[in-house]
């Protein structure tokens, strides 16, 4: 078995594609260059001990299709032959998967690299615009998504190729800015003494923020799940949940604005993942955009920068399908790794 880093990737159909998050794994099989991928029900990562079990039971045992290649996007850095998933117990071992599941090629990408590919592949009908001017067609872009964690990737256009720039930007520091922040931040749960973006801007982070607000005001915290908090916040049914949601979109605006500055994202800042889709009305209130644009001396630049919520429920899979069909259109060699049996 040879490890290959060649960039002239051509994959043999049918191709299994998979978006492996911390909570959910979504799979489909791309049959050829034209047909819609065959989709399968969402798999909960906690329901299977290993990714191989999940693929065998939930996909291969359910179809007569025999995938020859696999393109998998995983939540975590893609290094070496054993790829740990940051927020789950699964470990991706491509060599073992090839031996046990019969693939001759496996490409593994970072999950936000796949989200970045989706930004190129999705039509406008799958985007909800949150202010700003018209996006520049080949302007740089950035994708960030609060989900089980906080994923981030850039996307740049060079030499007629879209190149995702994966990273771990969700772990950058997040600091207090207003007097209210100063009251709440001391009560946030930290990671080794630090409040990172991901400590607040993800499912767990919503609960962290909600509890910190309750503590700061010496009130009782009635909710314990992210969905309860956003539901009560959107319905204006609970004072602490309303403030949690307001601060969540404010902090998301700050971080999204910082990333827009880093990548000079004249092509747009894209919010993806399960949570953004569920809180679109809150993202459309003025707080998100105000925090996004509050970047002196660059307020004017930021006011022109478009932001979109990706509303496609399976965006990363869509990006992976586009890559599986025409790998040459995308330069995923920055972080994608390929294993092949030939
Ligand atoms: N209605 C809701 N409001 C807020 N958070 C929610 C809601 N429903 C689910 N969540 C939270 O969203 C997170 C899952 O996000 P997502 O659906 O993007 O999963 P994922 O793909 O596994 O995430 P990741 O790729 O970051 O690991 C969980 O923390 C869950 O508690």
pLDDT in tens, 19-60: 998 889 999 999 999 999 999 999 999 999 999 999 999 999
How does pLDDT run across 153-179, given as a tens digit for each residue?
999 999 888 999 988 999 999 999 999
Write down the residue that tokens 């393109």 correspond to: 71
**Same structural domain, 326 and 241:** no
Higher per-residue pLDDT: 9 or 182: 182
- Separation of CA 188 and ligand 1 centre (Å): 20
Indicate whether residue 21 lines ligand 1 (CB < 6 A).
yes
Interval between CA 140 and ligand 1 midpoint (Å): 27
* Whether 143 and 99 share a structural domain: no
Q: What is the mean pLDDT of the chain?
A: 93
Task: Give the range of the structural domain holding residue 160, as residue numbers without chain letter.
Answer: 124-310
Best of 149, 274, 317, 319 to mutate for ligand 1, by most ligand atoms within 8 A of CB?
274
CB distance 341 to 5 below 8 Å: no
pLDDT at site 335? 53
Q: Give pLDDT, residue 6.
A: 46
Is the ipTM, as predicted for this complex, more than 0.90?
yes
150 contact partners, CB below 8 Å, separation of at least 6:
144, 169, 170, 171, 197, 198, 201, 202, 205, 255
- Two tokens at 253? 């605006």
**CATH code of residue 203:** 3.40.367.20
Pocket flag, ligand 1, residue 111 (CB < 6 Å): yes
Residues 238 and 258 in one domain: yes
Q: Is residue 101 part of a domain?
A: yes
**Ligand 1 atom 29, closest CA:** 203
267-316 pLDDT per residue, tens: 999 999 889 999 999 999 999 999 999 999 999 999 999 999 999 989 99
CA distance 73 to 85: 10
86-117: pLDDT as tens digits: 778 999 999 999 999 999 999 999 889 999 99
Ligand 1 centre distance from Cα of residue 278 (Å): 10
Number of domains in the chain: 2
Q: 10 alpha carbon to ligand 1 midpoint, in Å?
A: 33
Q: Is 32 annotated as a binding residue?
A: no
134 in the same domain as 111? no
191 and 302 assigned to the same domain: yes
Mention every residue, 6+ apart, whose C-beta is less than 8 A from residue 169. Answer: 144, 150, 152, 153, 197, 259
Nearest to 233 by CA among 206, 201, 199: 206
Q: Of all protein residues, whose CA lies closest to atom 30 belonging to ligand 1?
A: 203
Give the dihedral of Cα atoms 162, 163, 168, 172; nearest 10 deg.
-70
* Across 219-232, average pLDDT: 97
Q: Could you tell me if residue 205 is inside a domain?
A: yes
């Amino acid at each position: 078995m040879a490890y290959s880093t060649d960039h002239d990737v051509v994959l043999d159909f049918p191709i299994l594609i998979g978006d492996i998050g911390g909570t959910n794994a979504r799979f489909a099989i791309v049959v050829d260059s034209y047909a819609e991928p065959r989709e399968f029900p969402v798999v909960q990562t906690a329901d299977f001990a290993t990714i191989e079990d999940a693929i065998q039971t939930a996909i291969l045992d359910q179809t007569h299709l025999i995938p020859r290649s696999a393109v998998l996007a995983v939540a975590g850095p893609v290094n070496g032959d054993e790829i740990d998933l940051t927020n789950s117990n699964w470990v991706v071992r491509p060599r073992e998967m090839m031996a046990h599941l019969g693939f001759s090629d496996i490409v593994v990408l970072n999950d936000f690299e796949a989200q970045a590919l989706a930004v190129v592949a999705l039509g406008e009908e799958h985007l909800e615009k949150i202010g700003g001017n018209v996006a520049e067609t080949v302007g740089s872009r950035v994708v960030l998504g609060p989900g089980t964690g906080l994923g981030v990737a850039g996307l740049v256009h060079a030499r007629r190729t879209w190149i995702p720039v994966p990273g771990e930007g969700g772990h950058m520091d997040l600091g207090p800015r207003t007097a209210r922040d100063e009251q709440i931040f001391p009560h946030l749960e930290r990671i080794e003494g630090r409040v990172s973006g991901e400590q607040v801007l993800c499912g767990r982070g919503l609960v962290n923020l909600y509890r910190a607000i309750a503590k700061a005001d010496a009130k009782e915290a009635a909710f314990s799940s992210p969905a309860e908090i956003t539901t009560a916040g959107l319905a204006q049914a609970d004072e602490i949940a309303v403030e949690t949601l307001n601060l969540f979109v404010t902090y998301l605006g700050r971080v999204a604005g910082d990333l827009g500055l880093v990548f000079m994202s004249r092509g747009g800042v894209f919010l993806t993942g399960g949570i953004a889709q569920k809180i679109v009305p809150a993202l459309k209130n003025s707080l998100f955009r105000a925090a996004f644009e509050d970047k002196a001396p660059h307020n004017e630049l930021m006011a022109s920068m478009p932001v979109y919520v990706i509303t496609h429920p399976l965006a990363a899979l869509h990006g992976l399908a586009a890559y599986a069909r025409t790998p040459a259109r995308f330069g995923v060699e920055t972080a994608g790794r390929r294993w092949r049996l030939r």
